[in-house]
Structures are given as structure tokens and as C-alpha cells.
Amino acid sequence: MSAPGSTGYPGRVTQFSSDAPARAHAFTLSSADDGLAALGAWREYPRVQQPVWPDETARAKVFDDLRAAPPLVFAGEVDVLRDRVAAAARGEAFLLAGGDCAETFADSTADRIRNKIRTILQMSAVLTYGASLPVVKMGRMAGQFAKPRSADEETRDGQTLPTYRGDAVNEFDFTPESRIPDPARLWRTYTTSASTLNLLRAFTGGGFADLREVHSWNRGFTSGAGYDRYEELAGQIDKAVRFMDAIGADFESLKVVEFYASHEALLLDYEEALSRIDSRTGEIYGCSGHFLWVGERTRQLDGAHVDFMARLRNPIGVKLGPDASVDDALRLIDRLDPEREPGRLTFITRMGAGKIRDRLPALVEGVRDSGAQVAWVTDPMHGNTITSSNGYKTRRFEDILDEVVGFFEVHQGLGTVPAGLHMELTGDDVTEVLGGSGEIDEEGLTRRYETLVDPRLNHQQSLELAFLVAEMLSRR
């Protein structure tokens, strides 16, 4: 058991001060133009998935406003997370990232933010017990307001308009006015992200994350119809919590948790404007979020996104689909992690349940044999998207689970470390993914299908997945 006030991580990892987390690193961030000028080099590279802003003067004004605004995250928090990711890559922790496919301004309410945080805390409590490891908790939150799209335009009933690219760019309503990219929405992305982070820090630092409370939520879940198979594991956790209470464990230290914000660094105007220099070291931090990733559609080695991300000090991720080659992976490592620094680079695989067992082994072997120290995380959502017979974009819970199982099987067979899960989920009782113990069928999709982009696991499905993964982890 960890000493009172500790994080539960190995002692070599920087301890996180719950009352002032930025103390882990001197607060000396600057937006001085001279040091950040190199970041603008991305504009000289091939660019994809970037909106065409109709008014350059308006874009430049918002850029300047963002450059002058306070950072959303701090260098000290980012440095601690890099250590946490390194621990996950070594098998000393487990990373759980979850949240919306694409956040919206309208849904960034206190209740919905609380429900997402609650779901991730519940999942992490179950996974911590199953893995006997601390869980690195990360939300796809406070910045996930843009999404890459497969086409630049969308046609309905003979009318063709620009594609909806997320609330950071344009509106979902299918009208010419709504679909015009508006740079003012980047400023609203910043202010909404700031308010989300305020709530996130309040919830996770103010007692909402108390282990005893989180466990009581999970007991309520397992007592519901269809979830009785998880009662045994919930009972074991209950016994462990009561044992800790009986021996006088310091539950005060368990009321506060580390919780990090992540998103895809898609809109480079926004990411550049929110980058800051740590004047103590001269290094550049992306201060829009703690963990940033490059998507499958934007990971071109000669592209703008990879060039931009290579210049940041943050821990970063790269999505790898079923067509990613060993050469792709090794060249990305050379470009993004030339020093082979633990915690710097995470590969987030999105293969699909039918392909992961065939495609993933070669990638993992090639990276392992190169000596690189990346964290391997599975995204079992994006490779399993289908269209239901009644026209809904959806996924099957059984496919999502099967890809997770395949991910663990591959790493077990190779003797490598499955470092974490990257999920699209919500804390609400939506009906967007088929199956699960709730037995959502195609007709059920019509009841509460709310996503504007990709289907998400609901609260019950997320917890069910956590219990199933915990069972796998406990058998390792």
C-alpha cells in the first residue's frame, strides 16, 4: 500500500502535489513570439483536414487573442504525465483514456462533464483492482471539439455544403450559413475548454473522486439486472476497501486523483496559438492539453501535423490503422521520438476486431526489436464502425470487446506490454452502440442517439467493458 499522500506509482516518478500540481515544475511559461516562430513551419508542409477560413483578418485576430491568453495546462502537469505514460509502457501502470468522439459547446454542461468524469473514475477503480496497478486517468475532454472527416463536402437532397468538422470549426445544422468555417469558434473552443478544466479539477480535487464513493457507484451498477456476473469482482473490491478502512488507511489521500486532458491536435492554428515556451529550459509545450495525438488521417511523415508535433515537449500519441507498416512506425519514432525517451510516444492502434490479430504482431515486433520504448494503447472503436439496417452509424459491443481481447492476446504472445485503452464513451445513457448486457438492438438506436459524429459507449456499456477487461487483467 502506498504511503499517505502518495500517488501509488513507483517512487521514481515525480510526486504530484494535490493542492498545487504545477509545483512539479517552475511556472515559467511564455508566449514570446521569437521562441515560438519555428512552430509556424507547419504552414510550409502539406496540410490535410484543415478548414479554409474565409476571412484571414478574423483568423489572425483570434490567433493573436489565443496567443495572449493564459495556457490551459501547465508544464509541470505535462511533465508528470510523461512519467505516468512511461510507467504504463513499462507495465507499472495502466492508461485509460475516454470521452466524446467530438465534444460540443451545447453539451459541455456541468452535469455531462461530471457524468463523464464519474464513468472514467468508476472504470479506473475496477481496472486498478483487476490489474493491481495504478491507472492513469485521461479524458478526451477540454479540447476534443474538432474531428477529421472523410470528405470536404456533404450532399443532401441535391444540396452540397461543407462538411461539419466539429464545433471548433462550424455548426452541425445543414444550412449554408451554419457550415461556413468561423475562426471565432476557436476562441469559444478555448473558453469552453477552460471551463471544462475548471470543473474537472474541482471534481477530482474536491472529494468527488473519493475511492469509497466511486466504489459505491460500482456496487449500484452490479446490482442492476443483467450485471450480476460482475458481483463477485465487485465483492472482492468491497472487501479490499473495507480492509483498508479497518487498518486505518488514509482515505483523505484517496479523495484526490490525477486526471489529465487530451485531444487530437487537429486544428493547427489553434494548437500553435496555445503553445508556450518554458523559459527555464527553452522547450515548447502545447498548452491546449496535457496529451495530444495525431490521427490516422494526419500522420503523414512529410505532413504539417507530424512536423508540428515533433517540436512539442508533451507526451504525444499517433493513431495506427490496419494498413500501417513497420516502416511507418519506425519512421514516426525517428521523427517524433529521436531520443527514445520513455513516455514521449504512444502508439494507439485502431485495427478492427477482424484484423488486429493479423496486423498488430508485426508492428509490435518491429518496434520492440528497434529498441524504442513506446506505450501501446488500443482504440477498439474506430476500426469497428458499421451502418445499421435502419441507417445509423454504430458499432457492436461484441466487436469492441473482441478487439480489446485480441490486443491483449497479441501482447501476451510477444511478451510485450498492453499499456492501455482509448475509448469513445459518455457518462449518459445514450443508445448508440449495439449490444452489451443492456441488449441495445437496431430499434433501440432510435431511442437516444445523440452523437453528431461517432457512436459512443454509454455509461453502462463502459462499466461492463471495464469489468470484462479487469477479469482479463486479473488472470495475467
Same domain, 218 and 300: no
Same domain, 233 and 288: no
Same domain, 357 and 268: yes
Distances from the Cα of 347 to the Cα of 183, 209, 333, angstroms: 31, 29, 10
Same domain, 72 and 200: yes
The answer to whether position 101 is within a domain reads yes
* Domain of residue 307, CATH code: 3.20.20.70
| Residue 24 contacts residue 70 (beta carbons within 8 Å) | no
Q: Is 439 helix (H, G, I), strand (E, B) or coil?
A: coil
pLDDT at residue 218 in the model: 81
Write out the residue range of the structural domain in which residue 358 sits.
Answer: 33-147+193-207+256-474
pLDDT at residue 11 in the model: 46
The domain boundary, picked from 220, 236, 254, lies at 254
pLDDT at residue 26 in the model: 56
Asked whether the predicted pLDDT for residue 6 surpasses 70, the reply is no
pLDDT digit string, tens, across residues 213-256? 887 888 778 777 677 778 888 888 888 888 888 888 877 666 78
User: Can you tell me the distance from the alpha carbon of 468 to that of 193, in angstroms, rounded to the nearest whole number?
Assistant: 32
Mean pLDDT of the chain: 91
pLDDT digit string, tens, across residues 334-371? 999 999 999 999 999 999 999 999 999 999 999 999 99
Q: Which helix (H) or strand (E) holds 100?
A: none
Binding site for phosphoenolpyruvate: which residues?
140, 296-297, 319, 350
Residue 257: closest CA among 305, 223, 324, 208: 208
The answer to whether position 353 is within a domain reads yes
| Residue 24 contacts residue 77 (beta carbons within 8 Å) | yes
As beta bridge partners, residue 418 has: 376
DSSP string, 140-152: E-SS------S-S
Asked whether the predicted pLDDT for residue 138 surpasses 50, the reply is yes
Q: What is the mean pLDDT of residues 29-33?
A: 73
Q: Which helix (H) or strand (E) holds 416?
A: none
Binding site: which residues?
101, 140, 296-297, 319, 350, 382, 424, 454
The answer to whether position 24 is within a domain reads no
Q: How many domains does the chain have?
A: 2
Q: Put the strands of the sheet holding 283-286 in their side by side order.
A: 29-30, 275-278, 283-286
The answer to whether position 16 is within a domain reads no
Same domain, 355 and 395: yes
The domain boundary, picked from 254, 271, 287, lies at 254
pLDDT digit string, tens, across residues 293-344? 999 999 999 999 999 999 999 999 999 999 999 999 999 999 999 999 999 9
Same domain, 235 and 275: no
Same domain, 266 and 124: yes
Distances from the Cα of 245 to the Cα of 43, 210, 242, 397, 457, angstroms: 57, 13, 5, 36, 33
User: Can you tell me the distance from the alpha carbon of 113 to that of 427, in angstroms, rounded to the nearest whole number?
Assistant: 8
Same domain, 334 and 439: yes
Same domain, 218 and 241: yes
pTM of the model: 0.93
Amino acid at 233: L
Asked whether the predicted pLDDT for residue 27 surpasses 70, the reply is no
Same domain, 218 and 298: no
Same domain, 97 and 132: yes
Binding site for Mn(2+): which residues?
101, 382, 424, 454
